[in-house]
């Protein structure tokens, strides 16, 4: 299962401190570790670079979780203030 839209707005903490992921409306079940999708779905600021090419892996959700944790710790998104194209360029140069 790949959630595709992990972001702080979809995370909840229960009274006993358990973190749960809400809003599973975009979640998909995949039969293989890597899948190709023709439609890009999710929130741009949290999407892994490969999702913009239609490729989904479980690592895509790990990337989104990482961006979310940075935002929760720092109070802002890591690429805050950059355009969509600047973010894609920045991520590509770090690969």
Q: How far apart, in whole angstroms, are the C-alpha atoms of residue 38 and residue 69?
A: 28
DSSP 3-state assignment of 68? helix
- Whole-angstrom CA distances from 10 to 4, 42, 47, 59 are 11, 12, 14, 18
In 1-95, where does DSSP find H-type helix?
58-74, 84-94
Active site residue 34: no
Here the tokens at position 8 are 């702080």
- Residues annotated catalytic, as ranges: 5
């Amino acid at each position: 299962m790949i959630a595709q839209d992990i972001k702080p707005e979809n995370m909840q903490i229960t009274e006993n401190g358990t973190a749960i992921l809400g809003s599973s409306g975009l979640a998909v079940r995949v039969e293989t570790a890597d899948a190709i999708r023709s439609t890009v779905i999710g929130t741009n600021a949290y999407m892994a670079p490969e999702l913009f090419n239609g490729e989904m892996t479980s690592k895509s959700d790990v990337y989104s979780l990482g961006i979310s944790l940075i935002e929760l710790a720092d109070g802002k998104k890591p690429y805050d203030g950059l355009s969509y194209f600047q973010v894609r360029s920045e991520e590509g140069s770090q690969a």
